[in-house]
Every structure is written in structure tokens, then in C-alpha cells.
Copies of this chain bind each other. A is one copy, B any other.
Amino acid sequence: MSRTVPDLAAAELSVGLERLVSLLRRLPPGSDLSLTTASTLRLLEQDGPRRLSDLAAREGVTQPAMTQLVTRLERDGLARRMPDPDDARVVLVVITEAGLALLRERRAVRATHLQALIDTLPAPDRRRIVAAVPALIRLADAAPGDPSGEQR
């Protein structure tokens, strides 16, 4: 099969992502919530109420781990459990207003620090990054290792 983008690009992007993860971990608002917790909150913000098992699968953790994570979120007032009217076995998880507010605050703080870093880059770099952000978001939203492809 022929590829439009050569393997080298994926390899370089792989290295770039490694570095970006390191950067994000060093950035201030990366301390409050664990990575999985923050990621789960964002998923709830983005997609609305989700089944607990869906969250576990999406985040790549086990169901018991997600049970505890949701318990912590509920304890902290960031999310809450709701019953599913169609199936009494199911637990639906919903983000609260406090959860939404926390995400907004974290983004604002991080954006401020990112801004300072971006401003140190030459203008062409800044333009390329800005131009690529929507594409990177689409890349991140592409289904990971699901050949069945039931990523909504």
C-alpha cells in the first residue's frame, strides 16, 4: 500500500509527542489531577453522560479502577452518578458545574504558561503550530487501536 505520509513523519511525530508530554507534565496545572482523572473529566465534558464501563474502556483502565476514579470525582464534587432509566445495572457518570469550572480554570492557567513559551518561538514556528492544532485534535480523536472502529 502506498502512504502519502512517509514513516519518517510518524517517527518524528512520535518523538515530538514524547517531548510534548514531558512539557505538559512540567507545566504548573499538571499537578492537581492525575492524568487519567483529568482525561476522564474532559471526556465527560465533551460527550456528556457516559456509562462507567465506557469511560474505563476509553481511558484504558479497568472497570474497578474507573469505579474508584468516579468515586473520587464524586467525593470532590466534580462528577456524579446517575441511574440509567433503561437498564438498572448501568451507572451513568455526569460532570458537575464544579467539574466544568475546574477544567476551565486549569486550561486558563496552562494557556498562560504555554503562551509564554510560544512567545519565545520564531513567528514561522508559531504559525505552523497554530495551523496544525485543529488537525492534531482530529488526530487525537481518531480511534486508537480499534479495528472494529466503534469510536463514535
Chain A residues within 8 Å of B, Cβ to Cβ? 3-5, 7, 9-28, 31, 35-36, 38-39, 42, 59-60, 107-108, 110-115, 117-121, 123-126, 128-146, 151-152
Interface of A is mostly: helix
Residues of chain B with a CB closer than 8 A to A28's CB: 145, 152
Lowest 8 CB-CB distances: which A-B pairs, in order? Answer: A132-B132, A19-B140, A125-B135, A10-B115, A10-B111, A26-B144, A23-B140, A128-B132
Could you write out 11 A-B pairs with CB less than 8 Å apart?
Answer: A7-B111, A10-B114, A10-B115, A15-B107, A19-B140, A22-B59, A26-B144, A113-B145, A125-B135, A128-B128, A128-B132
Contact present for A39 and B16 (CB under 8 Å): no
Contact present for B136 and A19 (CB under 8 Å): yes
A27 to chain B, nearest CB (A): 6
How many copies make up the complex?
2
Residues of chain B with a CB closer than 8 A to A39's CB: 18, 21-22, 25
A96 to chain B, nearest CB (A): 19
Residues of chain B with a CB closer than 8 A to A112's CB: 10
Contact present for B152 and A139 (CB under 8 Å): no
Q: Known interface pairs A13-B129, A26-B143, A132-B131. Does A119 touch B19 (Cβ–Cβ under 8 Å)? A: no
